Amino acid sequence: MPFQIPPTKLPRVGTTIFTVMSQMAAEHGAVNLGQGFPDFPVPQRLVDALDAAMREGHNQYAPMTGVPALRQAIAAKVRRCYGAGVDADAEVTVTSGASEAIFNAIQAVVRPGEEVVVLDPAYDCYEPAIDLAGARAVHVSLDPASFAVDWERVRAAITPRTRMLMVNSPHNPSGAMFSAADMQALEALLEGTDIVLLSDEVYEHIVFDGARHESVLRWPRLRERAFVVSSFGKTYHCTGWKVGYCIAPPALSAEFRKVHQYNVFCTFAPAQHAFAAMLREAPEHDQALGAFYQAKRDRFRQQLLGTRLKPLPVAGGYFQLVDYSEVSDLPDLEFVKWLTVEHGVTAIPLSPFYAQPPAGQRLVRLCFAKNEATLDAAIERLRRL
């Protein structure tokens, strides 16, 4: 009998929309405002630190949990930013990007037959990790206009099978952020349960208009049950380095590390030494990141007002949602393909972020983590719509 490939474990998963649209952008010579990566340089100080680390011989396996100097620098940053004391040895794990950390956290504690509550629109790596754990994602939609959470809807979605709740602030794709009132509501919701919280905070330093990022690390009653995930790639403009970290209480970290050590074991060693040096010697970088990106946001939004695209409010992160309903009635996936092929600008549709997209929604995501020349070239084309 001929060999038959076993049935797929991820029947709903194909090539990600980010890869699809970036390939289309390259094929058609479009300005790529789709996939979320900066097109400006990594800080020179960080490049020099990476070069020095490699020349100094830090080229072999790093410790499984992360280079001690980096874990200590992360703990110091958490105290500086959020006033929280973190045990660098027992609570900080360095990972190969935030996506690895999210995958590890889910596999560490979620079992077959359990449920994970996900707030839609949600980043596309969440549900496949839930599926691979043999669990079920329970989707609760955010408000389609403001992307705020209705905590009573979340409460109604919780059952005795709920093992985890996943949250993301600043939010991808909308840029919405949790307020202190949201955190209080989240505390009340989880009180008296054994539900684990996974908080995706990769855009933690990209916040605007004087707002405060309400990290779970600020809230002790949440932190005691949480995996908090962040990303050096987002903070230091080096998404291709794929280095992130997870902070969790010792018992959760111990389970997390069981998965991490048999997933990647450890993360790129020279970069860990470079980030440790950057955190120690240049703390002003993350402190200035909000202002850096706010200038880009404000300039891009002002330019968009000269087009037929309507920009929505952006409180954090480096994505701008736009309403294209004055331009086209096409569904969002068809619209972004048309926009790429016919007008030379690539965006990301919102529907792949949902289990069930809102009917008639006409929103796409543009990335403004780009040089002024890149954004200017895109605006010149968008004005012709």
Instruction: Answer yes or no: are the C-beta atoms of 134 and 167 closer than 8 Å.
Output: no
- Dihedral sign computed on CA atoms, order 52, 72, 77, 36: positive
Q: Report the alpha-carbon distance of residue 53 to residue 47 in Å, rounded.
A: 10
Residue type, 60: Q
* Phi, psi (deg, nearest 5) at residue 30: -85, 155
Q: Report the alpha-carbon distance of residue 97 to residue 242 in Å, rounded.
A: 4
Give the residues across from 367 on adjacent strands.
319
Sorted by sequence, the CB contacts under 8 Å of residue 23 that are 6+ apart come out as none
Q: Report the alpha-carbon distance of residue 74 to residue 275 in Å, rounded.
A: 9
Instruction: Answer yes or no: are the C-beta atoms of 17 and 124 closer than 8 Å.
Output: yes
Structure tokens at 291: 């202002």
Instruction: Answer yes or no: are the C-beta atoms of 297 and 320 closer than 8 Å.
Output: yes
pTM of the model: 0.96
DSSP 8-state code for residue 240: G
Q: Can you give the pLDDT of all 385 residues of the chain as single tens digits?
A: 789 899 999 988 888 899 999 999 999 999 999 988 899 999 999 999 999 999 999 999 999 999 999 999 999 999 999 999 999 999 999 999 999 999 999 999 999 999 999 999 999 999 999 999 999 999 999 999 999 999 999 999 999 999 999 999 999 999 999 999 999 999 999 999 999 999 999 999 999 999 999 999 999 999 999 999 999 999 999 999 999 999 999 999 999 999 999 999 999 999 999 999 999 999 999 999 999 999 999 999 999 999 999 999 999 999 999 999 999 999 999 999 999 999 999 999 999 999 999 999 999 999 999 999 999 999 999 999 9
Q: Report the alpha-carbon distance of residue 299 to residue 318 in Å, rounded.
A: 13
Q: Report the alpha-carbon distance of residue 334 to residue 342 in Å, rounded.
A: 12
DSSP 8-state code for residue 218: G
User: What angle do helix axes 44-55 and 269-281 make, rounded to 10 degrees?
Assistant: 130
Tally of CB atoms within 10 A around 372: 12
Structure tokens at 330: 């096409």
Tally of CB atoms within 10 A around 110: 22
Structure tokens at 178: 């949790």
Size of the chain, expressed as the number of residues it contains = 385
Q: DSSP of 251-281, one letter per residue?
A: HHHHHHHHHHHHHTSS--HHHHHHHHHHHHH
* Phi, psi (deg, nearest 5) at residue 92: -115, 125
Instruction: Answer yes or no: are the C-beta atoms of 355 and 137 closer than 8 Å.
Output: yes
Delineate the domains of the chain, giving CATH numbers in brackets: 17-42+285-382 (3.90.1150.10), 44-283 (3.40.640.10)
Candidates 118, 17, 25; CA nearest to 349 is 17
Tally of CB atoms within 10 A around 330: 14
Instruction: Answer yes or no: are the C-beta atoms of 220 and 249 closer than 8 Å.
Output: no
Structure tokens at 31: 């300005």
DSSP 8-state code for residue 313: P
